[in-house]
Amino acid sequence: MSFRKAQVSRPIAYLTIMKRILKDTLGVFLLKGWKQTDKEKIVLVDDYIIHEVIKIHSESFQDKNEKDIIKYSKSSRKIFYVAKSHEGVVGYCIYYLKPVISSGGFKKQAVICSIATDRNFRGKGFGKKLLKESIKEMRLNKISSIILYVSKNNVPAIRLYEKMGFVTTGQIENICGQKEKCYKMELKLV
C-alpha cells in the first residue's frame, strides 16, 4: 500500500472503529429496563451454551465471525435467544438495538444480526419459534420495527421472514457477503 493510500485510509479506519463503539454503547443503553416474556424452550445465551451456538453459526455461514457472536453474548445477552430441544441447543437468533430519529420522534429499532438453526433440525419449526417468541418480546418493549438483511439466493430464510410478516423494503450489495446482493426486510411493530 502506498503511503498516500495509508494516510487516506487511516482516518476511515478510525471512523469505522468510532462508529462501532458508538453503536455498541447505544445498543447497551437502549437495553436498560428490558422486560422478558415467558418463553417456552427459548433461553438466553450463557457461558455454557455459547460454544454450541458458535458451532451452529460456523456450520451455517462461510463468513465465520465468532468474535461478534461472543461480543453480542455479552453486550446483548437479553436479546440473544437460543432454542433448545431435548437434544440440546438447536438454533439461535441475535439482535441488537439502535435508535431511529424521524419526524415521528425517537424510536427504538431492532436489527437481526444473525439467525440459524442446526442443520439436523431444520424444517422443524425452530426458526419460526425463535422469531415468534422474540418478536413478542420486542412488542412488549415497544420496539418500533425489526430489520434484517438476507441474501437474494437464501430462499429458506426469505420464506421464513415472509411467513413472519417481514416485507422487502430495498436491495443492497456487500452486506451479506462480498459482491452479494441482498434484500433489506422489515417488520413494523407499531
Residues making contact with ligand COA (CB under 6 A): 60, 115-117, 122-128, 150, 154-157, 159-160, 163
Closest residue to ligand COA using C-beta atoms: 127
Q: How far is the CB of 56 from ligand COA (least distance, A)?
A: 8
Please tell me what DSSP assigns to residue 71.
H
Cell of 138: 420486542
143 versus 150: smaller Cβ distance to ligand COA: 150
Q: How far is the CB of 92 from ligand COA (least distance, A)?
A: 9
143 versus 158: smaller Cβ distance to ligand COA: 158
122 versus 181: smaller Cβ distance to ligand COA: 122
Please tell me what DSSP assigns to residue 9.
H
Q: How far is the CB of 80 from ligand COA (least distance, A)?
A: 15
What element of type H or E holds 59? helix 50-60
Q: How far is the CB of 32 from ligand COA (least distance, A)?
A: 28
Exposure string of 23-34, with b = 16+ CB inside 10 Å and e = fewer, is eeeebeebbeee
Cell of 117: 438453526
65 versus 107: smaller Cβ distance to ligand COA: 65
Q: How far is the CB of 12 from ligand COA (least distance, A)?
A: 27
Q: Report helix, strand or coil for 158.
A: helix
Q: Are 145 and 187 spatial neighbours (Cβ–Cβ below 8 Å)?
A: yes
Residue 33 to residue 22: CA distance in whole angstroms: 20
